[in-house]
Structure 1
């Protein structure tokens, strides 16, 4: 009869064997994916593997890939491509930091307490990732698509070009799916278990180091994609553009504008350079006479002078131009971002400069917005705006111009010479071309959804 300690040892040895078998299956998937997608080398190798009897198939928290050995082994025996796809599916969740995104709060379902919005959020992340994987032409992940999957992609692509999780969520919300349709889509696209995600643990503090880690990996992929761009383009023309667009972080427009900030003194009490010990000592020693007074000015870094150029050609939507200017006005209205007196030129230009409005205060900016008229509707040439600003500099219209922001779709002629100020071309995510942007210029890609956030 087997002794209890022998039984425990047998269980431990069996668990160790299952751990090794499962890990070897995942390592094999990682290696096979790497052979075709070397730009993902760091991302593919960023996990340890751990057996978990509770997980449905496999899942990840961004650090560890958890697997249920029987289900993983069964999937591998059925078709190892399914394991490869599952591995890549989890990697993409991490690259785009889906583990920290939870969609929108909503009403509780009566049966299991999970909100419809939470289910939609999970589904949106899965669809976005599967759509990207299905758009890649690599033998290691090639698999036939069901009729439901093909039809879902067709409908989604009709409504939005860049199908990231947020965009898919927005479109699905507009479809008003019933329970049956929602369940069918979940069954079609669910690949991994999301239970380990930060968004599923509201009582647990988010881990900024984890997001930073994947942000750095993301940046590395951007660089490597450029290196392997010709190879990737030959394998799948759409893949490179899709992943480059998806990989772009959502920039905070306010933070981006601070790249054009300068240091100046401003009337305000400078608490940082004021020693309250001497101040209170004087009050104690002499009654109401402090030894020192606080400085009435302090050096701050804010935006003072810059140029906004609006592409008013036929290819640029007037509605998006207005939204962009409204967002800029919102930033301009914040005292922590801009000095009280400013010197901002708003230039409207298609293939020639049509208007140039000088703004010196927030009130003038507000008036400009309220009576905004767009002039243009011709072709697109970026050079006239740069030549116009050069003339303004010659006429000493600026004392310390830090930069130009050019809102456009990118379909135009760029100047070859680098100007003496920072330049940024701002594009909308759904419709832009940035391949011809000069190396000396910055690029910012904004999502239309960023303009639809509630007032701050």
Structure 2
């Protein structure tokens, strides 16, 4: 046998002796074994690694002495000694031979052949010199091998081999050596990383769970961290290693370990990792395992919990120091409200209020300041009585109409007002606004039109006049404390009033009925946008809305409800409904005259009293917002006069104050602003926000109704007049020749002879088409005819000879009456007979008028007026004359009307709506 074969045979015998732990046989074989110069670097390291893995220490020392300690690499040998729990061997290498678990590869002094690449020794594991050490926890280092099982690839030379291992014993040995201080900081940190990674992998894959292995490794990590905290072992890499465990889809047990052992690490990562801030379930699970850290970390957790509305978890951390602070709570309230978590924001705001009171008490050195507690209900006192049980009160409740102005703003707040309370109330309003916008983003621009104006000792939570939102500071705060939520429903209620133009009404109307009608219409919008109110009130409101929806064909507009109330249809329920639906104060809608005593605003018949002027009276000496409101008559600014108004009622009261004209202009601008906002919102819901519009059909319908252009029909009809010279005495014109002759003859007495003609505008040729389909009744047609007769029979409206065709049509032309004189018109009006009552098609009437014009029936045809409810088939082609559709019902669909036709909607009370649609 040649020498190489002898050497291989002796190496195999040495490996067998090491595996059998036979020290004496090993000693004999080493005496005959090749010397260091005859061993390759790989063969020498392989023998050392086997000796350290199998033990005992004497065997490892024999191999060490045989090579004289001149090994290319010893890191894996130490790792295997730790893996196999060879405590004596590991302690000897660390303490006596001062070997480095993370040491690098060196070139032996006596080595046969070329030195292999260092990765062959390290098995491509990272060492102390690796630049990426601690960058990624999952990158394997030599320390990683301490906690691994044998895979059959550990040999550097010879056949595969392995030894028995026990992870529990390995962890015990590592901990013991760490307590003895045998690991330098870098090795200490890396062993901590390696055992945590072992636990990570033991829990990572569902089909290969090793819960006992994970428990053992986490136990070791926990003890190592205790040494780090108590004894200063390791260095700053410990926090980096712990933080690197916080990754997406990490096992909750690993994250929980970090929370328990390094809460500041978790909270620090929470500040910077957006995915962690978004992981609601992980946050919810980790909060019970966390403990307070520094103020910045605690605040990061507070913001994350507020953002997700985790109120139970917020309660858990409420007692933490440096968490619920005056600096952090306002931001948390804003975060929660922006995310739409009203309950959480309310709870946080209550904590902030409590902090403010505590600090005020501490500063004052006395108990909480006394403050008269206003009623905590969101209803005015008169309306609040018996809301829950629906019992009738002893007297009918009424709002304080016009008795007060808007509460003073922050700049003009009542003397003695608490600025801190005012600020908190504003935060509550902002919280309500944020929640409303979070649920209904399309309302953001509309809400911005309401300027909050603080006040005190008001009769209700809110007062709205179209320009500002008056709120009572004490009521807002007390309501918030009681209900633990912002008044979102009440805010939307006030906003609905403005969008539906409820405050912009004339002074002569049944105020009690209009207040109730407006509140019911607003609550219908509130239920649609924010959901029903809580508790019994919400269920009872919904029952009434359902009842009204059935009675009014599903149309819950304020005008329709007002009209129904005026007819006495729900007289027995009015008082109960007032208590149920009232939410804010409408007093600013009906301001009292400056010199008139305040009353309940009803008059004898629910309208203005004799001498009451609907014009606004304003005291110029009062501060901004002190006594301003909306509600002046809108004769000149296209406001709506509701049914029941007396257009011809005398106004004997005093003239308006000097500020009335300015206030009227401001009112007109406010009404125009809200009308534009309503139109914009309607277009938005039908286009860009149509996904919301499908859920807010009621609001879209009412916005369409409120923004219909409303025109005085009598004034409109006069537009069909044409100029003509009529033979009548003209009191405004005379002959200048006689005038100057009289001056010359008598000196100071002119002679005046009126001319016998004057230029007048009178109605001559046009056509009126009356829709006589089944959706129209004789009553509404008669009202239309009467109004038309009033205009045409006025002294200056009718030619002596005229040509008006009154056509009745449903799906076809049913009749045509030609009016040539006032006598014809009066005769037709008195004996009108409607024909038809079938379907609705506007086209036959247009064809019939075309035939009349072709036959020469008209000399100077001025146009056609079509009186209808709007539910029919429109012609596609534009006729060669002016066409106007006059809609007597608010529920028509203006988008179906051709662009070439004018369309007007009559005043809500000018013709009672009789449509069945």
TM over 0.5: yes
Give the structure, 1 or 2, with the largest relative contact order (CA under 8 Å, sep 6 or more). 1
Cα–Cα, structure 1 residues 149 and 91, in superposed 2: closer, same or farther, change >3 Å? same
Larger Rg: 2
1:14-33 equivalences under 5 Å are: 15-30=418-433, 32-33=435-436
Contact 2:813 2:845 in 1 (8 A): yes
Matched, 1:73 2:484: no
CA displacement at 1:217 relative to structure 2:
2.8
Q: Is the 8 A contact 1:351 1:379 kept in 2?
A: yes
2:565 aligned residue: 172
1:163-192 CA deviation, whole Å, 9 max, x = no partner?
Answer: 3334323433515746xx554322211111
Equivalent-residue separation in structure 2 for 1:270 and 1:335 (angstroms): 14
- Taking the aligned partners of 1:31 and 1:146, their CA distance within structure 2 comes to 22
Residue 44 of structure 1, aligned match among 447, 450, 471: 447
Task: Report if the CA contact (8 A) 2:735-2:755 is conserved.
Answer: no
Structure 1 position 450, deviation (Å): 1.8
Structure 1: 5+ residue runs without aligned partners? Answer: 3-10, 105-116
Normalising to structure 1: TM-score of the pair? Answer: 0.79
Structure 2 matches for 1:181-192, cutoff 5 A? 182-192=574-584
Looking at secondary structure, tell me which structure has more strand per residue: 1
Higher alpha-carbon deviation: 352-361 or 318-327: 318-327
Aligned equivalent of 2:588: 196
SS of the equivalent of 2:693 reads helix
Q: Is the 8 A contact 1:248 1:445 kept in 2?
A: yes
Q: 2:562, 2:892 → 1: CA distance?
A: 22
Matched, 1:393 2:853: yes
Correspondence list, 1:114-263, <5 A: 118-134=511-527, 136=528, 138-139=529-530, 143-144=533-534, 146-161=538-553, 162-173=555-566, 174-175=568-569, 177=571, 182-200=574-592, 203=596, 204-205=616-617, 206=632, 207-220=663-676, 221-230=678-687, 231=690, 232-248=692-708, 250-263=710-723
Question: For residue 114 of structure 1, what is the aligned residue in structure 2?
Answer: none
Count of residue correspondences: 426
Preserved contact between residue 245 and residue 429 of structure 1 (Cα < 8 Å) = no
Q: What is the match of residue 790 of structure 2?
A: 330
Output the CA distance in 1 between the equivalents of 2:504 and 2:810.
42
Is 1:347 matched with 2:807?
yes
Between 55-64 and 117-126, the greater mean CA deviation after superposition: 117-126
CA RMSD of the aligned region, Å?
3.7
1:240-294 Cα shifts (integer Å, max 9, x gaps): 1232124435432112223433333344565667799x98776454239746655
Cα shift readout 1:88-108 (whole Å, capped 9, x = no counterpart): 32233334243545675xxxx
Q: CA distance change for structure 1 residues 94 and 379 in 2, over 3 Å: closer, same or farther?
A: closer
Contact 2:805–2:816 (8 Å) recurs in 1: yes
Structure 2-normalised TM-score?
Answer: 0.42
Alignment partner of 2:503 out of 98, 106, 120: 98
CA contact (8 A) 2:810 2:837 kept: yes
Instruction: Give me the whole-angstrom Cα distance separating, in 2, the residues matched to 1:127 and 1:66.
Output: 21
- Greater mean deviation of Cα atoms: 435-444 or 298-307: 298-307
The answer to whether the 8 Å contact 1:344/1:359 transfers is yes
Q: How many angstroms does 1:346 deviate by?
A: 0.8
- Structure 2 Cα separation of the partners of residues 270 and 26 of structure 1: 65
Q: For 2:840, which of 369, 376, 380 is the aligned residue?
A: 380
- 1:330 CA drift (Å): 2.4
Instruction: Give the Cα separation in 2 of the matches to 1:259 and 1:91.
Output: 37
